[in-house]
Amino acid sequence: MEIISFYKNDRQQHWLEEIGKSDWRAGQYLHEILSKGSFHDLTGEGSELLLLTDGDHLVSFCTYAERDEVASNEYSPWIGFVYTFPKYRGHRYMGLLFEKIEDLAKKQNIPDVYISTDHIGLYEKYGFEYIKDMETIYGDISRVYVKHIK
């Protein structure tokens, strides 16, 4: 398994097609904004899309972004678009991407990273703590979690 940055490799078209195979609505939206070239417009110029790969297969992906679906000047950066393909679930592979994000945050002297989700009990397994519910840019309510970077 290898972690790569979508924007720092020469196989973007291949990985875009792999993301497009996601059975998740938000994964399809990510595919759309990548295809249109509007990823950084929506998430911020310094944002990254990290991919956990197994050869030519995409295992998991997530973003490390300045902005996410919760419009907040108080919280940043965000982990978003968190997805693991069904055949790879149950092995905590997403934890490898979270560790990579923690390393990036440490190098940038960022003390906390945030995640917005409807899940309860999932991100706590990775050391995230619930903060509060917040409104998303779509008008829904989402749970916001923080991970303190050590």
Domains of the chain (ranges; CATH) run 2-111 (3.40.630.30)
Closest by Cα among 90, 86, 103 to 48: 103
Q: What is the mean pLDDT, run by run of 10 residues, along the chain of 150 residues?
A: 97 98 96 98 96 98 96 93 97 97 97 96 95 94 96
CA distance 96 to 149: 15
pLDDT of residue 71: 83
Model pTM above 0.85: yes
Buried b vs exposed e over 69-98: b needs ≥16 C-beta within 10 Å? bbeeeebebbbbbbbbbeebeeeebbebbb
Which of 45, 58, 60 lies closest to 11, judged by CA?
Answer: 58
Tokens of 131: 């903060």
| 100: helix, strand or coil | helix
- The tokens describing 5, both together, are 């940055």
Contact 19, 34 (CB under 8 A): yes
